[in-house]
Chains A and B, each alone.
Chain A
Amino acid sequence: MKRRQFIKKTTLSSLTALIGTEIVFGEIMPLGYEPLALQDPNPFKMFNKSKEMVVLNNMPWNIEAKAHLLDEKITSNEYMFIRNNGKIPKHVDAKNWAVTFDGESVKKPKTFTLQELKTKFKHYTYQLTLECGGNGRSEFDPPAKGNQWTVGAVSCATWTGVRLRDVLKAIGIKNDAVYIGYHAADTHLSGDPKKEAISRGVPMTKAYQDETLLAFKMNGKDIPLVHGYPLRLVAGGWPASASGKWIKGISVRNKVHDGNKMTGKAYRVPCNPVAPGEKVKDEQMCIIESMPVKSLITYPKSGAMLALGEKLKIRGHAWAGELEVSQMEYSIDFGCTWNNCSIEKPANRLAWQHFSASISFPKKGYYEIWARATDSKGISQPMVLPCWNPKGYLNNACHRIAIKVK
């Protein structure tokens, strides 16, 4: 966007009024120069994202993928959704980056530099599914407040780092430890330095899992800034907000962590099911832990047309929070009949699984292909919206694409 250079202009305006004539050189500026503050930031360039990604919000930055963009088995940065609660840190000094471990339940507070974390502890790499708790929010009725995610706030990249468990064991944790909470370098939208943009966490059982990492690499490279460079907590299978970016501190708490977005209604759903639109008291809201079973058809893109007699090959991914997907089905008749897809084993625990199927159509016409995953406990995705909740979390309704047979 080209915008008038009006910083100088406004300071000149009082003078203009005094003199009663126009000051001309406020109107000109060097060729090719645009004042930094007035530049229209191009998020696709700034974050190396595909131009097909959808910007939901630019303050703070929130960007989602579309189903067909997530076709890769391992999500690359180009198609990874961005979810921010605050402002991305401006000055990241990875060389002097340090993480302080404190809280009621550490034997003694301890600070490790990033370099020490990298050299003192063994490295592990896992492919981990990170899905925003509010993915699918746009479908709830009555609508829920917040970014209106459709289907694209999910990714499954590989993350390399040290196990949080190894670091906590080295520090020494008391027996009364209940929860860990992270502290990060992003800043609150209001600019208030006393406020944290987000400070969530997980119970000790999740913190101690093999796959819970303090990660410094994503897909084998430094983590992109917008995804948490230089250090990110990664807790796969849980709302991605538990995977704090730009980690500066971990507090080991003797109670459920009470940082920003842990309390009230944030990342919580009613403990007991409620009617759509029903008011729910804060005490009746329970923290979301494992994400529910879900799947996405990533090929073909919705809207494909083919000739009668041609077979349609579909593929996609399915995931189930802490669990594994045990069955994957598709329907071309709005759920009257279901057929099995083949489904691969996950690359490791908490990674999404790939499914595929080859479909024949009985006659010409309009079809929808609906996909339904079932987890290892026998729980399936619903075809309609799951239980309504005030903040619009956990929509795991079946994904579908439109097909025409000519």
Chain B
Amino acid sequence: MDKHDKFKKSVKVIHKGFLLIFSLLGVITCILFYAMIDPTFLTFRTADTSNYVVVEEIDEDLIENGIHVRTGLIDAKGLMEVVNNCTNCHSAKLITQNRMNKERWEATIDWMQKTQNLWDLGKNEEIIVNYLVTNYPPQKKGRRLGLTNIEWYDLED
């Protein structure tokens, strides 16, 4: 029994030792890893925080009144697929300005793939086209629309 207890104790000591060594190694790795990313980290710096401000956190994908604020796109099913695939090369304004049916949105994607280096959208294509057709369908305008949004003002001479 005595011998067994002694053995148990020494195993515990070794275990503790190992834990210590590994955690130390871990910390050193972390420091070295960070130094690799930011070499200035290891040089001494005076901590002057008086000229620093805390930057307010802004949600990149904030939605307000049903609109994705950063891009102006309508918040609906497929929004993020559109943001991630369609706003790298051109502005989202090119989408929000336009109104097309399924066939023509598809033709537009096809044209971008053939001539503008747009990648294969895979299964996202259906999601994106559905989003566009649902949220940006053609509007009937006829041969001439009436004047709208007139801001009335008194004409001064």
Contact = CB atoms under 8 A, between A and B. Distances in A.
Contacts, number: 118
B116 A15 contact: no
Interface in B92-134: 93-94, 97-101, 104, 108, 116-117
Interface in A1-39: 1-5, 8, 11-12, 15, 18-19, 27-31
Contacts of A190: 89, 116-117
A27 B54 contact: yes
A384 B142 CA distance: 9
Contact of B37 (A11, A140, A301, A312): A11
A118 interface: no
A145 interface: yes
A2 B56 CA distance: 8
A74 B8 CA distance: 96
Contacts of B99: 143
A303 B90 contact: no
B52 A30 contact: yes
B10 to A, nearest CB: 31
Interface residues of A, number: 51
| Interface of chain B: mostly helix, strand, loop or mixed | loop
Nearest to A143: B99
| Interface of chain A: mostly helix, strand, loop or mixed | loop
Given A56-B93, A57-B90, A141-B142, A31 B51 contact: yes
A165 interface: no
B58 A57 contact: no
A381 to B, nearest CB: 12
A8 B37 CA distance: 9
Nearest to B70: A1
Interface stretch (B11-19, B76-84, B144-152): B144-152
B154 interface: yes
A3 B99 CA distance: 31
Given A57-B91, A145-B108, A385 B143 contact: yes
B23 to A, nearest CB: 11
Interface of B: 26, 30, 33-34, 37-38, 49, 51-58, 89-91, 93-94, 97-101, 104, 108, 116-117, 138-145, 147, 150-155
Given A18-B33, A58-B91, 13 more contacts: A2-B56, A2-B58, A4-B57, A12-B37, A15-B30, A30-B51, A141-B141, A143-B100, A145-B100, A147-B94, A148-B98, A190-B89, A305-B152
Which 6 pairs, one residue from A and one from B, show the smallest C-beta to C-beta distance? Answer: A141-B141, A190-B117, A59-B91, A304-B155, A384-B143, A148-B97
